[in-house]
Amino acid sequence: MQHPAVPELSHTHTRPIHWVATAAALAGVVALSSFLQPDAATAAQPAAPRTKSAPQRTAPPDPTDVAFPLECGPVEALVQKTASGDLDGDGVPETVVAVHCDAPMGTPPDAVYVLTRDSGNAPRVVATLVATRERRTVTDLRVRDGAVLATMLGYSTSDVPSCCPDVTDDVTWRWKDGAFLRGTPAPARTV
């Protein structure tokens, strides 16, 4: 057997106290790492700088604080459906809403309004696409390719009871020459 040139050192032999010290140090690191966490990761890209050709992205108008031109008496106006998109090609989204009075009974007719933002960035009504006097109920509302698309239930005659609409219309509106023009509807379908 060959003897080492350097004598054995006492600290090179592991003893139980070494394992206890190592375990305590590791526990301390784990405990400390639970308090020091990195920021949450996000997939969002930083906003592109605004240029003349690329308008700044803004959120569509929120209908929550809008005073709708709807006479509801003692009940509130209730927003039933919303859809958003750029309707006039200016790069800023508008919001289209179907609203009716929150009547305790029956099926109150809907009104359909277009909202935009005023110069103070507050939402406001700029157009009425459907008035309540038309006695329509909106079942589907969307914005696609700059057009408002709606499916509405209605009545073939004034003799049809309010509870039971008997006609379904698919309607389209498009912004043209400073106004919303209603497209030629497909023939009404009987419900």
- Tell me what pLDDT residue 187 has: 57
- Tell me what pLDDT residue 58 has: 83
- Tell me what pLDDT residue 191 has: 58
- Tell me what pLDDT residue 13 has: 62
- Tell me what pLDDT residue 152 has: 94
pTM: predicted TM-score of the whole model, two decimal places: 0.67
Q: CA separation (Å) from 30 to 37, 156, 177? A: 12, 73, 67
Reading the chain (191 residues) residue by residue, the pLDDT tens digits are 555 555 555 555 667 776 777 777 777 766 666 666 555 544 444 444 544 554 556 889 999 989 999 988 889 999 999 999 999 998 999 999 999 999 888 778 899 999 998 888 889 999 999 999 999 999 999 999 999 999 999 999 989 888 889 999 999 999 998 899 998 655 555 55
